[in-house]
Amino acid sequence: MGKGQRATQVYRSTEFIEQRRDEDGLVLGGDPFKLAPSTSASLLESEANGKAAKASEASTKTIVVAKPTRAAETESGELESVPTFILVTTYLSYLMLIIFAHLRDFFGKLVYPEMYVQLREQNGFAPMVSDFESLWTRRLYGRIRDCFNRPITGVAGGHVNLLERVSFDFNRSFEFTGRVRNVLNLASYNYLGFAQSEGPCADKVEQAIRENGITQASTRAESGCTRLLVETEDMVARFVGSEAALIVSMGYATNALNIPALVSKGCLIISDELNHSSLVSGARLSGATIRVFRHNNMASLEKQLRNSIAQGQPRTHRPWKKILVVVEGLYSMEGEFCKLPEIVELRRKYGFYLFVDEAHSIGALGKRGRGVCDHFNVDPREVDVLMGTFTKSFGAAGGYIAGSRALINHLRLKSHSAVYAEAMSVPVLAQVSSSMRMIMGEDREHALEGQQRLDQLAVNSRYFARKLAEMGFMTMGDPGSPVIPLLLFSPAKIPAFSRECLKRNIAVVVVSYPATPIITGRVRFCISASHTREDLDYALEQISEIGDLLLLKFHKANVDKERIARIDADIDALNITGIITRRSVC
């Protein structure tokens, strides 16, 4: 057994990196990723010293073997009770905006008819868009366009370089000022901090380009199937715990082009009402019948299953060829986990096929980063189709479908993503392979860094959510989610929050109708393992000031102590790596 293999064995047995931590479990001092041993040799040399140090510190530390998270047993994902005054003023605000928008359009069509040509029938052709859709885009979204699609340069890591722009025509067009601002990035899906232009992953990418070039410029069905692609697919299958996997070069297409290869006319898709657009597109393209159940409501899902099985297909009442239930592992707009254990129980009871989209959960959830199955201790073989993307946790692009070998062989022959789409390029494959090997502890020189990133992300997420709750903000999501939505409600507060954050050099994503229900406009914080304690504390301080300015602390007088206690308990029991000290080592 070589040094690298021995180092991996040591890492897997200890499953914890001894570091100086504060009372919230955050690593103290500098870049958290530079504290792990840089090579296998240094790890093995420190093993003997580590044993002696642990023996001397045993009297001052309390070691707790934590239990798996119990998010499935709580209703933390449900929206908290909203004050009636907030609801009424939110509806009134939207009503006033729409009324004034219609008035401006009415008079505008009379005074400036040439500006509304696209909304009228021309030469027998209907308008390209409906009047209300155009109204919303021009009069509401257009006024706050500066809060969206902000251009950046460089890598979207813990901090990002933002290209400054201004508008002199009410956001109809923008001009660059030539200035670049470095801002704290709470807007990008960079959960494990692998979005880096330097480091071990970047070095592996450069090496792969020198050895294999950039791309094959072909589909995998012709000349795009390379050894690197096959090896990466085998690694993905081992990582998620399935027999085989298929890699697709585009994350959206992973759903949109593979679902039609799984179901067709005569089949039934039962979909969560908050599923991603790519799942909706794939379901519509398949030709299957689509029915929707209430978000994360198992009673609604079971009712749909019972009715569908009892009644069969419309008109003929023949049995369905297949019934496919489609859910997401982590819903990125809500920060909530799917209730996978309960869905698996229903699968055993009714015998449907289960499709789980792990675009946001793979790499970010579970003590080993293996996604929602790892988080809930569910056997991956209980899920028929596991889908995920490489854009969120791996700093790459594209996605994968994992399942039985028969399923993957079928998709390789029938899916448009395999037959017609280009194969994944060499740099992206190298990034996926190197980051996944690091998470799995198979990188000999960086055996501990992957697990450290998982640990840091989990602690950062819980710390940030707890502090927001303590301040009196109304948040959504399950404890441990790296996506933390904070409710803003009022349409005026949505752009105001984004602009105030930008003034303080913080980049955030704000979301409103139609992406969310009309009353639940929100800002969505994306936490990363690359964020340091100083980054989080600075963001919390500035967000608290903005909350006071915009009157967003709805629970300031009555902080939700039960929610804070639940998050505190989750932090105390944090066991992403297996063992954690209760007392900070200073």
Can you say whether residue 255 is alpha, beta or left, with left for phi > 0 and alpha for psi between -120 and 50 degrees? alpha
What are the backbone angles phi and psi of residue 402, rounded to the nearest 5°?
-125, 145
Distance CA 484, CA 486 (A): 7
**For residue 68, pLDDT beyond 60:** no
**For residue 579, pLDDT beyond 50:** no
> According to the per-residue pLDDT averaged within each range, which of 52-61, 229-238, 414-423 is highest?
229-238
What are the DSSP calls for 114-159, one per residue? GGGGGGS-BTTBPPSS-HHHHHIIIIIIGGGGGGSS--EES--SSE
Residue 129 pLDDT: 79
Residue 125 pLDDT: 87
Q: Do 208 and 228 form a contact (C-beta atoms < 8 A)? A: yes
Mean pLDDT of the chain: 83
pLDDT band with cut points at 50, 70 and 90 for residue 17: very low
138: Cβ–Cβ under 8 A, 6 or more apart, which residues? 101
Closest CA to 428 of 149, 208, 121, 253: 208
pLDDT band with cut points at 50, 70 and 90 for residue 4: very low
Residue 410 pLDDT: 95
Residue 77 pLDDT: 41
Q: Which residues of 535-553 are buried (b: 16+ CB within 10 A; e: fewer)?
A: bbebbbebbbebbeebebb
Mean pLDDT of 242-251: 94
Residue 40 pLDDT: 33
What the block records as the tokens of 148 is: 């969206």
Q: Burial level of 294, CB count in 10 A (0-12/13-18/19+)?
A: middle
Residue 56 pLDDT: 42
**For residue 57, pLDDT beyond 80:** no
pLDDT band with cut points at 50, 70 and 90 for residue 573: low
Residue 79 pLDDT: 53
pLDDT tens digits for range 422-473 = 999 999 999 999 999 999 988 888 888 999 999 999 999 999 999 999 999 9
**For residue 574, pLDDT beyond 60:** no
Residue 53 pLDDT: 43
41 C-beta neighbours (distance < 10 Å), count: 14
Q: Do 383 and 400 form a contact (C-beta atoms < 8 A)? A: no
Q: Do 415 and 257 form a contact (C-beta atoms < 8 A)? A: yes
Residue 570 pLDDT: 60
Distance CA 143, CA 137 (A): 9
pLDDT band with cut points at 50, 70 and 90 for residue 126: confident
Residue 128 pLDDT: 79
Mean pLDDT of 64-74: 33
Residue matched to tokens 């795009």: 224
pLDDT tens digits for range 311-354 = 999 999 999 999 999 999 999 999 999 999 999 999 999 999 99
Residue matched to tokens 């698996």: 344
Q: Which residue has the higher pLDDT, 559 or 404?
A: 404
DSSP label of 71: G
Strands 385-389 and 399-403: antiparallel
Residue 444 pLDDT: 82
Residue 247 pLDDT: 95
What are the backbone angles phi and psi of residue 326, rounded to the nearest 5°?
-115, 125
Q: Which residue has the higher pLDDT, 524 or 71?
A: 524
Lowest mean pLDDT among 118-127, 270-279, 490-499: 118-127
Mean pLDDT of 114-121: 84
Distance CA 355, CA 347 (A): 11
Residue 37 pLDDT: 39
Mean pLDDT of 70-86: 55
What are the backbone angles phi and psi of residue 157, rounded to the nearest 5°?
-95, -145
pLDDT band with cut points at 50, 70 and 90 for residue 25: low
Residue 20 pLDDT: 53
pLDDT tens digits for range 523-565 = 999 999 999 999 999 999 999 999 999 999 987 655 555 555 6
Lowest mean pLDDT among 20-24, 240-244, 429-433, 516-520: 20-24
Percent of all residues in the chain with a pLDDT value above 70, rounded to a whole number? 81
Torsion angle in degrees (nearest 10) through CA of 113, 114, 119, 124: 110
Chain length of the chain: 586
What the block records as the tokens of 326 is: 């489609």
Handedness of CA 131, 132, 133, 134 (dihedral sign): positive
